[in-house]
Amino acid sequence: MKNIVRAAIVDPNDLSRNSLKRLLLGIDTVWLEAECSNYEFFADVVMQTQPDIAIISLDTNPEKGLELVGRLSNQLPNCSVLVVSSSQEGSLILKAIRNGAREFLSFPVKIEDFLGALERIQQAQGGRGDGQVRSCQVVTIAGASGGVGCTSLAINLACSLAQNDQNHVAIIDLDLALGDADVWLDIIPDYTIQDVAENISRLDYTLLKRSLTKHESGAFLLPRPVQMEATPFFSADELRRVLAMLKATFSHLVIDVSKNYGPLDLAAMEASDVILLVTQLDLPCLRNVVRLMQFFEQNEALAEKIRVVVNRIGLQDTEISLNKALETIGRDIYWQIPNDYATMVESRNNGVPLIKHAPRAKVTRSIEQLAHSLDPHPEEGEGTEEGKPRKRLFSFLGG
């Protein structure tokens, strides 16, 4: 993913260093590559990790800190040095700038000050001129019942998003017991989400990328564990940490949650920008949509993310009408996906996504249009005249 800033920090004071770490970990577009508690060792750490920025706290020993600023500025001109200090003495600021610091930030560091410093550095280096850093969009696929097509939508949505060269897409299979995202992509992974969670404390950029398996479509997969467990093997907080690290690496995360709606599923939803609630036009599914919406409305932040997607439109003549479904669930339908059971089953059994297996099928085109509607950064020329993709109720009927 472009515009990810890799950072390293040095601060001998544990409290202030942890404060800086929390700040960086809360910014999707910043990757904390390394941290150090010793001025003497930091130059070697920076030489090995080659970060984009080096953040040096001066408060413990201003003289050693300033010396380190000068050394890094001379030896690594491509690494921008940011200085942090609780002191605002003019002489200290002047020395830091003369030694090569690009920015001087007051401690405790405010996020808006830090982001402003990054923007100025990027502009000085010829980066994006609009002052905006591309963030990650997280889309969670949830189901009103089993078998409604959540995994098929997650896989094909992610593969469609990955066709845009500007996108860097990862699929996370959170159905820890019976997830089958790897089957849909015909992948035998070397690592699973369990391996990532168990090594979260020592996970770095390189190890994270090796933990995911790349499909030929361009999408990466983090599959469910190999072994079934009676209880989750990692906590919701650990999952949030995994997602935060993935968000710093990818432009899009597509998460296929289980039907349990347990703590892990809810943590994924809370981290999401959009939740696609997949249903079919049958009474059990529509009743579950109502139940789920009542549950989500207890958390306003979750409720406003929900988008209802009706799958397999035209499945059978006896399905409930669209008007009756709207009356039952009491909310708009965001998207409709036509039924094409034979094509979808062939795609799954062959382990080939729809964009390769049946690129001209109506179901493929519908999911591609859904991807465009969700993608905050569509390719130039796509969508409406204003550059925004169209959202159509009967999307699959278009030309």
Task: Give tens-digit pLDDT for 265-283.
Answer: 999 999 999 999 999 999 9
Give mean pLDDT, residues 369-373: 96
Task: Determine the Cα–Cα distance for residues 330 and 308; give it in Å rounded to an integer.
Answer: 11
Predicted pLDDT at 208: 72
∠ Cα 147 282 317 (to 5°): 105
Instruction: Look at domain 5-124 and name its CATH class.
Output: alpha beta
**pLDDT tens digits for 128-179?**
444 444 568 999 999 999 999 999 999 999 999 999 988 889 999 999 989 9
- Residue-wise pLDDT for 197-237, tens only, equals 777 766 665 667 778 999 999 999 999 988 877 556 788 88
| Ranges of CATH 3.40.50.2300 domains, the chain | 5-124
Mean pLDDT of 231-248: 79
E strand segments, the chain: 5-10, 30-36, 53-57, 80-85, 103-106, 137-143, 169-173, 213-214, 220-222, 252-256, 274-279, 306-313, 335-338
pTM (global) more than 0.85:
no
Q: Which fold has domain 137-397?
A: Rossmann fold (3.40.50)
Residues of the chain with CATH 3.40.50.300: 137-397
Report d(CA 84, CA 101) in Å as an integer.
10
| pLDDT level of residue 379 (50, 70, 90 thresholds) | low
